[in-house]
Structure 1
Amino acid sequence: MRHGALRDPGRAAAELGLAERELSIALDDLSRLGLVHRAGEDEVWTPVDPTVAEVTARAPLEREIRERQLELSRLHARLRPVAALYAEHSRSERRAERLRQVDSAADVRRELSAMTRMCTEEMVSIQPGGGRNPNTLHGIVEESVAMLERGVRVRTLYQHTARASLATQTYVRAVSAAGARIRTTAEVFDRVIIFDRETAFVPQSRVEGRPQGASIVTDPTVVGFLYRMFETLWRSGRPFDLDEVIAGRLTEQDESAQDRLAADDLRLAILRLMAAGLKDDVIARRLGMAPRTLRRHLRDITGELRAESRFQAGYRAWRLGLPLEDEAGEPEPADGTLPEPE
């Protein structure tokens, strides 16, 4: 080949230290790649410019890709009008029902997935508890990013305790990079997911021995109330640092400040619930943390206030002027939130 052609395979094999069969296999491979071909009356092996070989090999593949793209375009043109009709029909049915009970967890997931695909403007959600299930987050990240790429706004409100969850941090990093906005707050009422201010998913009350389903609400008055509740909590929330740092709205110093503010919010929430006379297990559930974690916070609070008991800690917090009542001036109500569905 160095001389422009391979005229004597036996001699070439000897020079390369190969058996003639090995040389024959190598030539067949080069021929399939289009890098050599037989030329002239003697049909000697002649090298081909790799650029020419590439163009020759790419041509049928590119032709097939174009044909597939054309086929996809035709399929899209045929199905898109039907999909729009189906979505509008589904919305009309949902609005007419006002309230629908879905008892199976699998059916709830299917309904959520369908609403995620049909959502056109905004999805907001409240996710109580600490870090969420890693398998759940892994399953919804693609759907969330797909919504954002369609121009749908996504806002999610977690509790402060979710900041320590690596799985939640990974999810927040992925969706924040695509444009989602995430905040955390000390307390939330229950899990709620609202699509386009028209459809809300709320968990059913737990019944022992039965899987927890969801209620799908389309009544405008109820959905409007739930949306306003979300907005109130959203305004009181702290930006999840990953969201704001990726968007360039927070410096590293701001990021640390947000973490400190979230920790302060959490301590005040603990003091408020203590002042309301709630038990430790109820406080822990309200704040989305384990009882052991709550006890650690209580030790830190009593130590910081130089108190020897919970009562003394509450008294000293009151003397310091810390807000131990809600905005209406009433103590925190007894716990009535629903536990997180599995």
Structure 2
Amino acid sequence: MTDEIPLLGDLAVKAYETVLQKGRFDDQELATALGADITTVEEIRKSLQDLHLLSPSAPGRAVVPLDPEVAEAELVTPLEVEIGRRRREIGRIHEELRSLAADYRARPNGSPADVPITVLDDVEEVRREIDRARYGCTQERMSLQSGGGRPPGLLEADREHTLELLRRGVRVRTLYQHTARTSLATRTYVQEISRRGAEVRTVDELSERLIIYDRRIAFIPKERTGRQPPGAAVITEPTVVGYLARTFESVWQVGRPFEVEQQTAEYPQVAEEVRQSIIRLMALGLKDEVIARRLGMATRTCRRHISAVMEEMGAVSRFQAGLIIGRENGDVGR
């Protein structure tokens, strides 16, 4: 299941107990037995089916009760597998970063020129270095593009660079945030490069931009301090570049393919992931502007999403919404 598992209310429990006695789930019979309307009964049936407590609906087949212990195993096992995978990933990150820390402490006192990390303040100089890396790229370009949809001018320039790489047989993989799907310019760009062989996915949140060429040279931006574009660090140290590439792969695995032709089919899942991210960031007490920046959307758009979430919760203030979220998280944790 990709959506949040529904909790059983008293009426749903009573419905399941009634179905156990009758041997099947009949909407009309259950509506009479429960004193509920058909719409409510249909929602209960779907909730019980989502929890694998009822067989799926199919023409000519009765909907019958299923074993809760089997349902529990079917629902919990994938979650336990994912938890185990995440724990192994955390352990790997700890191990590799501690190894880097040991190397850092053991480094000789050389000159800055001996350190394979160069920080460039001049944006034009950064572009020249990226061009040089692209010209020499023979295998793959990986990039994280945070911040939602990109300006048409930047996309046009990157379009030529990307098509050049694809013509040379270079694999191109790019990760955007989900909010980039709402940008017409970005969708048009993605559609064109995808037809030429590029692979594009989206996730709900990306912390920063990253470009890696051939797993040998990486570019990460400096922290922005004003309106001017920031410089960047150029990294050629193999251990660090390898770590950044593995980080990219980890995010890539959970990304959703950005298939423009199937945009409508993907929208409900993507919208729900964005909604859950907003709730999670609200629970952290972050301001609207920070949440918007983290999710790559305009502050005004973010506030509309937050208002919708609060209305859904029945909250009249951010403080009350925080209490509701905290209570729900506490219930889940028990």
- TM-score relative to the length of structure 2: 0.61
Query: 1:121 & 1:211 partners in 2: Cα distance?
Result: 29
Per-residue deviation at 1:121?
Answer: 1.0
Could you tell me how far apart the structure 2 residues matched to 1:118 and 1:289 are? 34
- State the secondary structure of the residue aligned to 2:143: strand
* Deviation at residue 109 of structure 1 after TM alignment: 1.5
Alpha-carbon distance change, 284 to 119 in structure 1, aligned in 2, over 3 angstroms: same
1:70-81 equivalence runs, <5 A: none
Report the alpha carbon displacement of residue 209 of structure 1 after superposing the two structures with TM.
8.4
SS state at 1:201 partner: strand
CA contact (8 A) 1:271 1:324 kept: no
Q: Is residue 204 of structure 1 aligned with residue 222 of structure 2?
A: yes
Task: Tell me what 2:23 maps to.
Answer: none
Partner amino acid, structure 2, of 1:278: L
SS in 2 for 1:205: coil
Other-structure match for 1:303:
311
- Whether 1:110 and 2:128 are equivalent positions in the alignment is yes
The question of whether the paired residues in 1 share the 8 Å contact of 2:139 and 2:214 is answered with yes
* In 1, Cα distance between equivalents of 2:331 and 2:243: 26
Is residue 234 of structure 1 aligned with residue 242 of structure 2? Answer: no
- State the match for 2:141 in structure 1: 123
Opposite residue 265 of structure 1, the aligned amino acid is E
Question: C-alpha separation between the residues in 2 aligned to 1:208 and 1:272?
Answer: 28
- 1:316 CA drift (Å): 4.1
Which of the residues 199, 220, 229 maps onto 2:238?
220
- Distance, in Å, in 1 between the alignment partners of 2:227 and 2:177 is 28
Aligned to 2:5: none
1:264-303 equivalences in 2 (<5 Å): 264-303=272-311
Residue 157 of structure 1: CA displacement?
0.7
| Unmatched tracts of structure 2, length 5 or more | 1-112
Equivalent residues in 2 for 1:137-148, closer than 5 Å: 137-148=155-166
Distance in 2 of aligned mates of 1:123 and 1:296: 36
Letter in 1 for 2:138: T
After superposition, the Cα gap between the structure-2 partners of 1:208 and 1:228, relative to the gap in structure 1 and judged at 3 Å, is same
CA–CA separation in structure 1 for the residues paired with 2:265 and 2:184: 20
Q: Match of 1:284, as an amino acid?
A: A
Shift of 1:103: 1.9
Deviation at 1:311, TM superposition (A): 3.8
Q: Alpha carbon RMSD of aligned pairs, Å?
A: 2.5
Which residue identity does 1:298 align to in structure 2? I
Give TM-score, length-normalised by structure 1.
0.60
- Over residues 120-155 of structure 1, what are the superposed CA-to-partner deviations in whole Å (9 max), with x where a residue is unaligned? 111111111121121111012122012112211111
Change (3 A) 1:258 1:216: same
For residues 227 and 323 of structure 1, the distance between their equivalents in structure 2, rounded to whole angstroms, comes to: 38
Q: Deviations over 1:233-264 (max 9, x none)?
A: 2122111122xx4xxxxxx4xx4232111111
- What is the aligned counterpart of 1:132 among 141, 145, 150? 150
Deviation at 1:206, TM superposition (A): 2.9
Percentage identity across paired residues of the two chains: 48
Relative to structure 1, the CA distance from residue 304 to residue 209 in structure 2 (aligned partners, 3 Å threshold; closer, same or farther) is closer
Residue type of the partner of 1:281? Answer: E
Cα deviation per residue 1:92-125 (whole Å; 9 max; x = unaligned)?
xxx9751112222112122212211211111111
Task: State the 1:212 CA deviation.
Answer: 1.8
> In structure 2, what residue type is equivalent to 1:296?
R
Provide the rounded CA distance (Å) in 2 between the counterparts of 1:323 and 1:178.
48
Structure 1 residues 218 and 322, CA, compared in 2 at 3 Å: closer, same or farther? farther
1:171: how far off? 1.1
Query: Distance between the aligned counterparts of 2:157 and 2:316, measured in 1?
Result: 47
The residue aligned with 1:333 is none
In the TM superposition, residue 302 of structure 1 has moved relative to its aligned partner by 1.5
Unmatched 5+ residue regions in structure 1? 1-94, 246-251, 326-342
Partner of 1:192: 210
**Which of 260, 270, 279 is matched with 1:262 structurally?**
270
Instruction: Give 1 or 2 for the bigger CA radius of gyration.
Output: 1
**Contact 1:268 1:323 (8 Å CA) reproduced:** no
Paired residues of 2:283 and 2:325 also in contact (CA < 8 A) = no
Which residue identity does 1:262 align to in structure 2? Answer: V
Q: 1:149 is matched with which residue: 162, 167, 174? A: 167
Q: State how far apart, in whole Å, the 2-side matches of 1:201 and 1:318 are.
A: 39
Residue identity in the other structure for 1:217: I
Change (3 A) 1:201 1:164: same
- 2: distance between equivalents of 1:168 and 1:322? 39
1:324 offset after TM fit, Å? 9.5
Q: Quote the residue 2:186 is aligned against.
A: 168
